Amino acid sequence: MIKRISVEQKGFTLLETLVALVILATGMVAILLLFPVTLDRQRINTQRTITTAHAQSELAKIQAVGTSGNFQQWLEENRFQAVHESDLANPFIQATVVSWQPMGEVNLGFYRVTLGLRLKDDSVEYFTTYVTDR
């Protein structure tokens, strides 16, 4: 006796199962490819947050000093500083550079101070503040 399979039987064929697995695998690969991009973006955002906080701290020190007698001395001492490898507080910063220039035609005690940070990936970020003795 030959057993006939009725058309009304329910279930998946092998072809349908393979197509579903291919679609599932494609979706999983697409999701897995996003992880390295996301991790890289997170690293960049962390780097920018830390360097910005460092720059704000340094610029606050500059503003706290003001243009008193210590201002020029502080600028000379901090003109260029290489960050040591043992300094874990700034793991992304390679070196800092401070430059300044008097504002206006006549030096009236108003300076523009620029802090440059050379990062470990050899990019440079600049931050600017203004300092006055008034």
What ranges do the domains of the chain cover? 14-132
pTM exceeds cut of 0.75: no
3-state SS, residue 70: helix
Q: Are 67 and 111 in contact (CB under 8 A)?
A: yes
Rounded distance between C-alpha atoms, residue 44 and residue 114, angstroms = 22
Q: pLDDT per position in the chain (134 positions), as tens?
A: 666 666 666 777 888 899 999 999 999 999 988 888 889 889 888 888 888 888 888 788 777 766 666 677 777 777 776 666 555 556 778 788 888 787 776 767 778 888 888 887 888 888 888 877 65
